[in-house]
């Protein structure tokens, strides 16, 4: 049978390119889990995906209620779940004030981390039930959260501190930042990516042996052309792609990045659990090192426990 992969945020950028790459193999049915139904349908058509290869289902990660409804709706379709890809993200580098999710969490961490945290915890049961030979859960990470890299050292740097802001609800009353500091939209995004990478490793430690599920994260390269940068100032958007292409040489096209993530979904040679994948300039994959904070097992455990409380699992 075909594999079934759920991809969040498949209506643009990396998620869409991955959906397309998987659909083209003829071996996958892709559930495009998106907040904008019409945009997702149009996006699928625009890249030439055929009707039988995908289903659009509504998911707004900025609402925990919507996450639960998505899980219910998915279960009602009675399809198996073979791979979950947590890909969607928001990035608000120029925001002066924080905005908040339906439950009142700062929106970058609320969407990118807490929404995906609840989704992955609920869907783990479905993954366990699948009889697919290589079941995987992938959470897209980023170089920007990794302070052991050049890109990760561009200020403001990611730093979760002792998680005091998260523990106090991330609702703007005490703080809207995980470390309890002043709001900074660019840092909130980077912090959320550290959470994504810590969560993947904690899932691996808790569930890999018991379930056989492969947990993985990745940095697909700098996809400088995606919608992620839509809220950045125009000059940045003009100069960022050529800067990445010719100066840092970290640039990767949406199509190439989609192929990389599709490898993490289905390539037999990328089946190892607990790995953060990256690619060389010649496009060969390797197991990359995470920064000290993004591989801190103590912090991962604490993040897990605080997040469980916030999303109502504990
Ligand atoms: P895009 O902005 O193109 O895609 C983000 C996707 O997330 C869109 O489909 C968007 O939906 C969706 N999304 C945003 N908020 C929500 C929500 N509340 N509920 C459901 N879906 C939502 O960015 P990219 O493709 O670049 O980003 C994809 C992933 O890649 C992210 O995890 C990002 O951190 C990561 N990444 C990107 C890099 C890059 O250079 N671009 C580098 C490293 C990692 P909609 O279409 O409705 O807006």
The answer for residues whose C-beta is within 8 angstroms of residue 213's C-beta and 6 or more apart is: 124, 127, 128, 135, 136, 137, 207, 273
Which tops the pLDDT comparison, 230 or 80?
80
Active site residue 54: no
Task: Give the per-residue pLDDT at 153.
Answer: 82
Q: Give yes or no for residue 164 having a pLDDT over 80.
A: yes
Residue from 8, 9, 85, 105 to probe ligand 1 pocket by mutation (most atoms less than 8 Å from CB): 9
Catalytic annotation, pick one of 54, 91, 132, 189: 189
Residue from 85, 89, 199 to probe ligand 1 pocket by mutation (most atoms less than 8 Å from CB): 89
CA of 144, closest atom in ligand 1 = 43
Please tell me the total number of residues recorded for the chain in this structure. 314
Q: Give yes or no for residue 1 having a pLDDT over 80.
A: yes
- In percent, the amount of the chain with pLDDT more than 90 equals 85
Residues 69-120: tens digit of each pLDDT: 999 999 999 999 999 999 999 999 999 999 999 999 999 999 999 999 999 9
Q: What is the ipTM of this complex?
A: 0.99
Distance between CA atoms of residues 224 and 257, nearest Å: 11
Q: Give yes or no for residue 145 having a pLDDT over 80.
A: no
Section 260-285 average pLDDT: 96
- In percent, the amount of the chain with pLDDT more than 70 equals 100
Pocket of ligand 1 (CB under 6 A): 8-9, 11-15, 34-36, 39, 59-62, 87-90, 111, 140, 142, 193, 219, 222-224, 226-228
Task: Give the per-residue pLDDT at 243.
Answer: 86
CA of 87, closest atom in ligand 1 = 32
Longest CA span, the chain: 51
Confidence band of 196 (pLDDT split at 50, 70, 90): very high
**Residue closest by Cα to atom 11 of ligand 1:** 9
Task: Give the per-residue pLDDT at 86.
Answer: 98
Tell me what the pLDDT averaged over the chain comes to: 95
* C-alpha closest to that of 70 among 17, 142, 10: 10
Ligand 1 mean position, distance from CA 209 (Å): 30
* C-alpha closest to that of 116 among 140, 86, 161: 86
């Amino acid at each position: 049978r075909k594999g079934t992969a759920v991809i969040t945020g498949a209506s643009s950028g990396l998620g869409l390119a991955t959906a397309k790459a998987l659909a083209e193999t003829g071996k996958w049915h892709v559930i495009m889990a998106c907040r904008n139904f019409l945009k997702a349908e149009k996006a699928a058509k625009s890249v030439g995906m055929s009707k039988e290869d995908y289903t659009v289902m509504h998911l707004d990660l900025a609402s925990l209620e919507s996450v639960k409804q998505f899980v219910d709706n998915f279960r009602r379709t009675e399809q198996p779940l073979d791979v979950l890809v947590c890909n969607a993200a928001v990035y608000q580098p120029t925001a002066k004030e924080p905005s908040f999710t339906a439950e009142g969490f700062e929106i970058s961490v609320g969407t990118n981390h807490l929404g995906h945290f609840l989704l992955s915890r609920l869907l783990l049961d479905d993954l366990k039930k699948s009889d697919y030979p290589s079941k995987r859960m992938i959470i897209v990470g980023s170089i920007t959260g990794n302070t052991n890299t050049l890109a990760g050292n561009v200020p403001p740097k990611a730093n979760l501190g002792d998680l005091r802001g998260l523990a106090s609800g991330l609702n703007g009353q005490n703080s809207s930042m995980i470390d309890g500091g002043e709001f900074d939209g660019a840092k909130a995004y980077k912090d959320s990516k550290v959470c994504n990478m810590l969560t993947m490793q904690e899932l691996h430690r808790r569930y890999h042996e018991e379930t056989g599920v492969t947990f993985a994260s990745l940095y697909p390269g700098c996809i400088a052309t995606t919608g992620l940068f839509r809220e950045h100032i125009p000059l940045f958007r003009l100069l960022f792609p050529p800067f990445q292409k010719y100066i840092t040489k970290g640039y990767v096209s949406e199509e190439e990045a989609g192929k990389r993530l599709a490898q993490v979904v289905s390539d037999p040679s990328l089946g190892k659990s607990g790995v953060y994948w990256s690619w060389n300039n010649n496009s060969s994959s390797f197991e990359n090192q995470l920064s000290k904070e993004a591989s801190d097992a103590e912090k991962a455990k604490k993040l897990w426990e605080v997040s469980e409380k916030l999303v109502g699992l504990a």
